[in-house]
Chains A and B, each alone.
Chain A
Amino acid sequence: MPVTAERPETLDVRTLCAAYGNQAPMLLEVLHDLQEKIGYVPEACVPALAECLNLSKAEVHGVVSFYHDFRTAPGGRVTVRICQAEACRSMGAEALTEQILSRYGVSLSEATVAGITFEPVYCLGNCALAPAAMVGSELIGRADGPSLDAAIEEAGR
């Protein structure tokens, strides 16, 4: 590969940063957009992010690692976030989580299996219809095994 060729993700970074006027305070927005586009924030993007936004690489790293939302490795095709906070616990979120995870044979801390990534989340603002979960971009209230399975299947299509 010729040294001058830019990797595709670096090109994405430049376009995304430019869309926000290459303003350093827009780093979080850029990271969100980048992750929406390619599924995660590749390590290889950090230098370009730093350069475009006039930040140090350490600053960019610091931000990426601080926020739970940003992934540094690819996730599955479908992300399943089951709420672990108090209101959902009061309605059996722990048992539900265990039931789903044991069926897939994984644990909760960002485990990917069969193209599905499971993540904990603390409150989805749906606490009156607990337990709540988010499958892809679909919010689910009064979640149970069957409703989660159906949503996972739907999102995987």
Chain B
Amino acid sequence: MSMILYVPDDAAALSVGAERVAKALAAAAVGRGLNLTIVRNGSRGLLWLEPLVEWDGPDGRMAFGPVTPDQAGALLDAIQAGTEHPLALGPTEEIDYLKNQERLTFARVGVIDPLSVKDYEAHGGLEGLKVALIMTDETICEAVLQAGLRGRGGAGFPAGIKWHTVRKQDAAEKYICCNADEGDSGTFADRMLMEGDPFTLLEGMAIAGLATGARHGIVYIRSEYPHAISKMARAIEALGEAGWLGANIRGSGKDFQISIRRGAGAYICGEESSMLNSIEGRRGTVRSKPPIPAIRGLFGKPTVVNNVLTLATVPVILAKGAEFYREFGMGRSRGTQAFQLAGNIRRGGLVEKAFGVTIRELIETFGGGTATGRPFRSAQLGGPLGAYVSEEMLDLPMDYEALAENNAMLGHGGITVFDETVDMAEMARFAFQFCAEESCGKCTPCRIGAVRGRETVEKILRGENVARNIALVGDLCELMTDGSLCAMGGLTPVPVLSAIRLFPEDFERASVLAAE
């Protein structure tokens, strides 16, 4: 008898034992004389169920999880005998968490063999690039603009406008730089996409090249992501061998080649100009703007800098049309966003939904509340530079503008949940500490302000002159907001001030009997 099983080799799945499970299944199959094929797919994003094993049976993909190595034999027996297994979750795509999503960018992640070009094409891959090859550069840029695609790296700038700008530059060399630095705590969607469907990103980059006249692409991947780096490297090779990258793509006369560059453990290198310096082999300090990278970017040449998800969303837009894509979403936030449920959450994972879904739906309906079962206290939206929100704010829709009106931001779509045990003054201290450690050092408000901020919150934590020190933190935040060159120093006040505003009780430390 033969059997096909899917066992993810996504880093998160590996972190809870997927490799051991795959090995145990292979060994158990040998003992049973079973002809077992194990496909190493990406993760479906139901991370609390990892390692999630899928059986490709007569009724489609059936899920089991979380599987441990010692259950391998019993699992194979149950599948072969057609009996119920305690870990059976039914048809994978009928699981509510997955069924209630709108997967466009992540349509293939967890479904296909990430390194099989054949599998990729069978699931709609390369359709966008094929269309782009017969379009003009201007019409490609226009399609991306009309789709309403905004940058997924945090700032939400319209990708089509950026592409048009690069397209219009008269230069012999231009570059497409994919920002895969994904340094924000609470985010892992870029990583999951690169590991689960790397061809989609490469296809999006090639389309960006056709749209702007760039012939070189670089993916800058943080060194904390060794699995993604190796997956991407193999994907570049496989797509090149199939003729979809490199010189004269499929006889079109167009060239596009892609290489990978590793980061080296610096959060600031996610900021685009710092990333460009890093790719040039320099210290990752921030460059002053103007000029913007679209005019003078990598090696001084016009450069598109886009986040992984921005680029990986382009293929579906070209394949299905701008109209199709912009149907999703609300207001000026069009399409879908890959939300990431992280931290103290029962069902952590990846939820791709149209913009407009509320924070509560994500945390409660999808996420099932806190992991500890204790009451919810706060969530941080959009990474370390994003605001903390309170229970009262959970009905806000995930929409760039609606969040901005409430002093919050969507960022890269991460939601980090905290239960009632969190000390928000301690989180404010951490925000300053992180900024102090990761500041590139170029401007004083950030470099010095963050250190002073940390020290001042430490005084508050010790109960020293609390009221005066809270006021001092306010002043420091104003200085950093107004005087920083980039959003690292400019936005660090956001988590700090939201914590003070929404959770003042955490800052009212019993004052020490000062030895003054």
User: By the criterion CB–CB under 8 Å, are A32 and B262 in contact?
Assistant: yes
Q: Which stretch from B177-185, B236-244, B391-399, B480-488 is at the chain A interface?
A: B177-185
Please give, as numbers and ranges, the residues of chain B lying within 8 Å of A125 by CB-CB distance. Answer: 11-12, 182, 187-188, 190-191, 224-225
Q: Give the residue of B190, B280, B427 whose beta carbon is less than 8 angstroms from that of A25.
A: B280
Q: Which stretch from B31-39, B77-85, B337-345, B458-466 is at the chain A interface?
A: B337-345
User: By the criterion CB–CB under 8 Å, are A139 and B417 in contact?
Assistant: no
User: By the criterion CB–CB under 8 Å, are B348 and A129 in contact?
Assistant: yes
User: By the criterion CB–CB under 8 Å, are A69 and B183 in contact?
Assistant: no
User: By the criterion CB–CB under 8 Å, are A29 and B12 in contact?
Assistant: no
Check if B281 is an interface residue, CB within 8 A of chain A.
Answer: yes
The CA of A55 and the CA of B187, in the complex, are separated in Å by: 36
Nearest CB on A from B254, distance (A)? 25
Q: Which stretch from B163-171, B263-271, B444-452 is at the chain A interface?
A: B263-271
The CA of A23 and the CA of B281, in the complex, are separated in Å by: 9
Residue of A nearest to B226 (CB): A137
Q: Give the residue of B11, B223, B285, B416 whose beta carbon is less than 8 angstroms from that of A126.
A: B11
Do A26 and B185 form a contact, CB below 8 Å, given A69-B265, A90-B343, A142-B16? no
Check if B114 is an interface residue, CB within 8 A of chain A.
Answer: no
Q: Name B4-39 residues within 8 Å CB distance of A.
A: 11-12, 14-16
Please give, as numbers and ranges, the residues of chain A lying within 8 Å of B187 by CB-CB distance. Answer: 123, 125, 127
Please give, as numbers and ranges, the residues of chain A lying within 8 Å of B283 by CB-CB distance. Answer: 62-63, 66
Check if B304 is an interface residue, CB within 8 A of chain A.
Answer: no
Nearest CB on A from B375, distance (A)? 14
The CA of A59 and the CA of B14, in the complex, are separated in Å by: 39
Residue of B nearest to A141 (CB): B15
User: By the criterion CB–CB under 8 Å, are A66 and B266 in contact?
Assistant: yes
The CA of A87 and the CA of B15, in the complex, are separated in Å by: 16
Check if B284 is an interface residue, CB within 8 A of chain A.
Answer: yes
A contacts with B, residue count (CB < 8 A)? 42
Nearest CB on B from A35, distance (A)? 9
Interface readout for A131-143 with B: 1 if CB under 8 Å, 0 if not?
Answer: 0101001011110
Nearest CB on B from A12, distance (A)? 18
Please give, as numbers and ranges, the residues of chain B lying within 8 Å of A137 by CB-CB distance. Answer: 226
- Max chain B C-beta neighbours (<10 A), residue from A59, A69, A70, A126: A126
Interface readout for A93-133 with B: 1 if CB under 8 Å, 0 if not?
Answer: 00000000000000000000000000001111111111010
Check if B503 is an interface residue, CB within 8 A of chain A.
Answer: no
Check if A51 is an interface residue, CB within 8 A of chain B.
Answer: no
Check if A18 is an interface residue, CB within 8 A of chain B.
Answer: no
Nearest CB on A from B372, distance (A)? 8
User: By the criterion CB–CB under 8 Å, are B342 and A67 in contact?
Assistant: no
B contacts with A, residue count (CB < 8 A)? 59
Do A90 and B422 form a contact, CB below 8 Å, given A63-B282, A130-B343? yes
User: By the criterion CB–CB under 8 Å, are B427 and A29 in contact?
Assistant: no
Check if B384 is an interface residue, CB within 8 A of chain A.
Answer: yes
Check if A89 is an interface residue, CB within 8 A of chain B.
Answer: yes
Nearest CB on B from A83, distance (A)? 8
Residue of B nearest to A123 (CB): B185
Q: Give the residue of A25, A28, A128 whose beta carbon is less than 8 angstroms from that of B349.
A: A128
User: By the criterion CB–CB under 8 Å, are B284 and A67 in contact?
Assistant: yes
Nearest CB on B from A104, distance (A)? 22
Nearest CB on B from A40, distance (A)? 14
The CA of A85 and the CA of B183, in the complex, are separated in Å by: 10
Interface readout for B411-449 with A: 1 if CB under 8 Å, 0 if not?
Answer: 000101111001000010010001001100000000000
Check if A31 is an interface residue, CB within 8 A of chain B.
Answer: yes
User: By the criterion CB–CB under 8 Å, are B224 and A124 in contact?
Assistant: yes
Check if A91 is an interface residue, CB within 8 A of chain B.
Answer: yes
Check if B50 is an interface residue, CB within 8 A of chain A.
Answer: yes
Check if A68 is an interface residue, CB within 8 A of chain B.
Answer: yes
Nearest CB on A from B183, distance (A)? 6
Do A128 and B345 form a contact, CB below 8 Å, given A26-B281, A68-B264? yes
Check if A24 is an interface residue, CB within 8 A of chain B.
Answer: yes
User: By the criterion CB–CB under 8 Å, are A91 and B185 in contact?
Assistant: no
Q: Which 4 A-B pairs have the closest CB atoms?
A: A128-B348, A141-B15, A85-B185, A127-B342
Between-chain CB contacts (< 8 Å), 16 pairs = A63-B283, A67-B264, A85-B186, A87-B343, A87-B414, A87-B416, A91-B371, A121-B265, A122-B437, A123-B183, A127-B414, A128-B188, A128-B340, A130-B343, A139-B15, A141-B50
* Given A121-B265, A126-B11, 19 further pairs, Cβ under 8 A: A27-B281, A59-B282, A62-B283, A67-B265, A86-B427, A88-B343, A90-B422, A91-B344, A122-B185, A122-B434, A125-B11, A125-B12, A125-B190, A127-B348, A128-B349, A129-B47, A130-B344, A137-B226, A140-B15
